[in-house]
């Protein structure tokens, strides 16, 4: 819980105030049985109405005081919990954004999302609860025991002996129940996983007629879940009746000894009633204990997950300034272009002896890759799945760092170029299309903040999407995603290409981003791109897109096995020839490809 305390510091005044209010409430509650005892012994038994008025008034007044304290504590506790939640989210998100891509990928995105959403909410609720209820329970138990002892030492002793035993029993039960519920949770997760899987693969299950098989699998998991749920619930439901019985037996003991004491003159009726009252309060508090312990263990798991992120060391952290007031990009650049203020990048790229393997894995993804691209040239990268094409181009915007060798842009080692600066010169279109919620315009403008309509339209035109957009009723203001239109795969690809083009990049990276386009559109797009003065790295499967490239790189198992122009490769590489033939057939039809030039 160390991280939490660090964050709580800022709110210590409010936290202490909340606890102070809590103590007021507690004091009022603890004093009640004592006052009742006074009313019984000094009032009713002495026949003194004034005493009854007095203590009744004090009781009413204190009830009001406790109420006010409670209302106040709500403000303070909410302030602390919401404040800490805000700070935590802010710090955590900033930390995540500061991660280099490599470190980011050490965590699964989904797990980071849970930490930022669910886990923080759990912690927030826990803080709120601690400041209002959780601290109350142990204090109430302790206070009741102490008060009972003060009222009547001998009778109070009964409570003093019983409470630790019951406490031990409850804690033991909680531990057992927690383990059981963990199993139940696992079973639930497994079952839900199966449902999810079945829903996703529904068509496949139907066409392979595997319904019976799947239902059988589900039945097994469902049965396991039922059996474990019954076991777990049975245990927790046994705890309370047992606890109550033991506590009630204690009350019988208090009555028994109380009568003996009263007869020997060692106690008054009021005192016995007070001790019984304190015992009853203790029962109430103990029964809340299991819930509180549960919340605490959940919160501590959440805290651990959050701490893991916050304490992750990232030597390559990418946000220059990690402070409350980050320097925004616009402050650094003028609005009229992404490259203003940065060294202009011409787009010469040189790989020399580059090897790479993903962190934490042994197999090399790239081995000793070397090539040079001149500014404005187009490089096509081909190869089988898993041959290292995507990995190779990821190294250019420094999403990952090569394990060996150097990459130079305009002759400068990219490790010496500021990441932000480098990336501002690059337009990157990833293999899997990722668009954001918002309008088409907003999505294109992602590439260049503050892009005007002209720039956006130009980019869209070049990406061959402008016409399609203007056909939409809302044009560029059309919303994407959940409530907006659903674009086809090819349209999404073109949109993400437009997003890259609007940057007017010096280096354009297309990672198999034209796969869903038909040949015609693809050709038109590549034609547009070739008029731009940018170096293009193009991962593709299609010979049609490759043939006009200035350089073709053929990768196989991470090694560069052939490079050169189309004609050269047709001569020199058997593999390239086979790829070519598979798409264009042999002899005769070569003619069509030649037409391309």
**How far is residue 418 from each of residues 124, 290, 580, measured CA to CA in Å?**
38, 54, 40
If you count them, how many residues does the chain have?
A: 597
Instruction: Name which of 410 and 556 has its Cβ closer to another protein.
Output: 556
Closest separation in Å from C-beta 526 to another protein: 9
Element (H, E) at 73: helix 49-98
Instruction: Name which of 150 and 195 has its Cβ closer to another protein.
Output: 195
Instruction: Name which of 138 and 201 has its Cβ closer to another protein.
Output: 201
* CA dihedral for 135, 139, 140, 142, sign (positive or negative): positive
At 458, phi and psi to the nearest 5?
-60, -45
**CA–CA separation, 479 and 499 (whole Å):** 16
Closest separation in Å from C-beta 395 to another protein: 12
Element (H, E) at 125: helix 120-129
Torsion angle, alpha carbons of 108, 508, 377, 581, to 10: 60
**CA–CA separation, 260 and 472 (whole Å):** 92
Closest separation in Å from C-beta 145 to another protein: 19
Residues 100, 317: contact at Cβ < 8 Å? Answer: yes
Instruction: Name which of 53 and 168 has its Cβ closer to another protein.
Output: 53
Closest separation in Å from C-beta 186 to another protein: 10
Closest separation in Å from C-beta 295 to another protein: 8
Instruction: Name which of 48 and 372 has its Cβ closer to another protein.
Output: 48
Query: Helix (H) and strand (E) counts for the chain?
Result: 23, 12
Closest separation in Å from C-beta 67 to another protein: 3
Closest separation in Å from C-beta 457 to another protein: 20
Instruction: Name which of 2 and 591 has its Cβ closer to another protein.
Output: 591
Instruction: Name which of 168 and 242 has its Cβ closer to another protein.
Output: 242
Burial class (CB in 10 A: 0-12, 13-18, 19+), 587: exposed
Strands 412-413 and 366-373 come out as unpaired
**Secondary-structure breakdown of the chain: helix, strand, coil percentages, each rounded to the nearest 5:** 65, 10, 25
Instruction: Name which of 171 and 327 has its Cβ closer to another protein.
Output: 327
Closest separation in Å from C-beta 80 to another protein: 8
Adjacency order of strands within the sheet including 349-356: 366-373, 349-356, 404-409, 412-413
Rg value, the chain, Cα? 36
At 402, phi and psi to the nearest 5?
-65, 145
Instruction: Name which of 71 and 161 has its Cβ closer to another protein.
Output: 71
The distance in angstroms from the start CA to the end CA of the chain is: 67
Residues 146, 282: contact at Cβ < 8 Å? Answer: no
Instruction: Name which of 329 and 335 has its Cβ closer to another protein.
Output: 329
Burial class (CB in 10 A: 0-12, 13-18, 19+), 470: exposed
Residue corresponding to tokens 């190869």 = 383
Token pair listed for 428: 């990157």
Instruction: Name which of 112 and 469 has its Cβ closer to another protein.
Output: 112
Closest separation in Å from C-beta 211 to another protein: 4
Neighbours of 261 (CB within 10 A): 18
Strands 507-511 and 426-429 come out as parallel
* Residue 550, helix vs strand vs coil: coil
Instruction: Name which of 416 and 595 has its Cβ closer to another protein.
Output: 595
Residues 538, 380: contact at Cβ < 8 Å? Answer: yes
Closest separation in Å from C-beta 297 to another protein: 10
Instruction: Name which of 93 and 358 has its Cβ closer to another protein.
Output: 93
Residue corresponding to tokens 């980011």 = 104
CA atoms within 13 A on the CB side of 293: 18
Closest separation in Å from C-beta 547 to another protein: 10
Closest separation in Å from C-beta 549 to another protein: 15
**CA–CA separation, 496 and 432 (whole Å):** 10
At 554, phi and psi to the nearest 5?
-110, 115
Closest separation in Å from C-beta 520 to another protein: 4
Closest separation in Å from C-beta 259 to another protein: 5
Closest separation in Å from C-beta 33 to another protein: 9
Instruction: Name which of 353 and 585 has its Cβ closer to another protein.
Output: 585
**CA–CA separation, 405 and 418 (whole Å):** 19
CA atoms within 13 A on the CB side of 565: 6
Instruction: Name which of 397 and 564 has its Cβ closer to another protein.
Output: 397
């Amino acid at each position: 819980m160390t991280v939490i305390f660090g964050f709580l510091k800022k709110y210590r005044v409010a936290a202490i105030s909340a606890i102070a209010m809590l103590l007021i409430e507690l004091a009022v509650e603890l004093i009640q049985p004592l006052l009742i005892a006074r009313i019984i012994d000094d009032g009713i038994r002495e026949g003194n109405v004034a005493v009854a008025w007095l203590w009744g008034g004090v009781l009413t007044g204190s009830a009001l005081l406790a109420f006010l304290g409670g209302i106040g504590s709500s403000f303070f506790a909410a302030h602390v919990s919401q404040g800490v939640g805000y700070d935590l989210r802010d710090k955590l998100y900033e930390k995540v954004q500061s991660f280099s891509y490599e470190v980011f990928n050490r965590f699964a995105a989904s797990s980071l999302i849970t930490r930022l959403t669910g886990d923080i909410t759990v912690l927030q609720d826990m803080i709120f609860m601690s400041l209002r209820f959780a601290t109350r329970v142990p204090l109430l138990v302790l206070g009741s025991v102490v008060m009972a002892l003060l009222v009547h030492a001998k009778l109070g002793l009964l409570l003093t002996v019983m409470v630790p035993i019951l406490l031990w029993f409850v804690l033991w039960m909680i531990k057992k129940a927690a383990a059981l519920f963990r199993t139940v949770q696992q079973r639930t997760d497994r079952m839900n996983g199966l449902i999810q899987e079945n829903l996703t693969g529904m068509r496949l299950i139907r066409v392979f007629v595997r319904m019976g098989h799947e239902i059988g699998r589900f039945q097994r998991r469902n049965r396991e879940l039922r059996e474990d749920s019954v076991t777990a619930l049975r245990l927790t439901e046994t705890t309370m009746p047992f606890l109550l019985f033991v506590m009630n037996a204690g009350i019988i003991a208090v009555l028994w000894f109380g009568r003996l004491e009263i007869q020997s003159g060692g106690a008054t009726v009021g005192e016995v009633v007070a001790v019984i009252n304190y015992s009853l309060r203790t029962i109430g508090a103990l029964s809340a204990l299991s819930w509180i312990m549960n919340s605490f263990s959940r919160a501590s798991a959440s805290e651990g997950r959050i701490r893991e992120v916050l304490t992750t060391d990232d030597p390559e952290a990418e946000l220059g300034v990690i402070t409350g007031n980050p320097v925004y990009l616009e402050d650094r650049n003028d609005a009229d272009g992404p490259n203003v203020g940065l060294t202009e990048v011409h787009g010469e790229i040189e790989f020399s002896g580059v090897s790479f393997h993903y962190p934490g894995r042994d197999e090399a993804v790239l081995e000793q890759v070397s090539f040079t691209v001149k500014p404005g040239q187009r490089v096509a990268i081909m190869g089988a799945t898993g041959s290292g094409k995507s990995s190779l181009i990821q190294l250019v915007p420094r999403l990952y760092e090569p394990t060996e060798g150097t990459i130079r842009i305009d002759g400068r080692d990219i490790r010496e170029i500021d990441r932000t600066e480098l990336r501002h010169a690059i337009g990157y279109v990833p293999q899997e299309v990722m668009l954001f919620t918002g309008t088409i315009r907003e999505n294109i403008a992602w590439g260049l903040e503050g892009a005007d309509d002209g720039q956006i339209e130009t980019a869209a035109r070049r990406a061959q999407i402008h016409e399609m957009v203007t056909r939409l009723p809302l044009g560029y203001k059309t919303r994407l995603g959940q409530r907006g239109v659903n674009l086809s795969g090819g349209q999404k690809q073109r949109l993400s290409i437009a997003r890259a083009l609007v940057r007017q990049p010096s280096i354009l990276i297309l990672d198999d981003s034209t796969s869903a386009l038909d040949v015609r559109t693809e050709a038109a797009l590549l034609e547009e791109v070739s008029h731009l003065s940018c170096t293009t790295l193009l991962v593709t499967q299609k010979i049609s897109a490759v043939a006009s490239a200035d350089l073709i790189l053929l990768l196989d198992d991470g090694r560069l096995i052939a490079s050169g122009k189309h004609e050269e490769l047709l001569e020199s590489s058997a593999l390239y020839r086979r790829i070519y033939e598979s798409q264009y057939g042999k002899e005769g039809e070569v003619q069509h490809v030649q037409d391309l030039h």
